[in-house]
Amino acid sequence: MRPARVPFAGKKLSRHALKPVLVGIDSNASVIARLNEQFRQFAHRAAIATGSPWGFILGAIGVLLWALSGHWFAYSEGWQLVINTTTTIVTFLMVFIVQNTQARDSREIHVKLDELLRAIESARNDIIKCTDLSDEQLSELEDKLKATASHSEAEPLSAALIVGGK
Q: pLDDT digits over 35-78, tens only?
A: 999 999 999 999 999 999 999 999 999 999 999 999 999 999 99
How far is residue 95 from each of residues 36, 46, 98, 146, 150, measured CA to CA in Å? 17, 12, 5, 34, 39
What is the rounded CA–CA span in Å between residue 85 and residue 104?
A: 29
Q: Report which of residues 30 and 126 the model is more confident about.
A: 30
Half-sphere exposure (Cβ direction) of 109: Cα atoms closer than 13 Å: 7
Q: pLDDT digits over 89-104, tens only?
A: 999 999 999 999 999 9
What local confidence, expressed as pLDDT, does residue 10 receive? 54
Does the reported pTM lie above 0.75?
no
Q: Confidence band (pLDDT; 50, 70, 90) for 126?
A: confident
Q: Mean pLDDT across the chain, nearest whole number?
A: 80
Q: Which of 113, 108, 145 is nearest to 129 (CA)?
A: 113
At residue 103, what is the residue type?
A
* C-alpha angle 114-149-165 in degrees, rounded to nearest 5: 75
Tell me if 20 sits within 8 A of 27, measured CB to CB.
yes
At residue 94, what is the residue type?
M
Mean pLDDT value of segment 27-40? 87
What local confidence, expressed as pLDDT, does residue 22 receive? 45
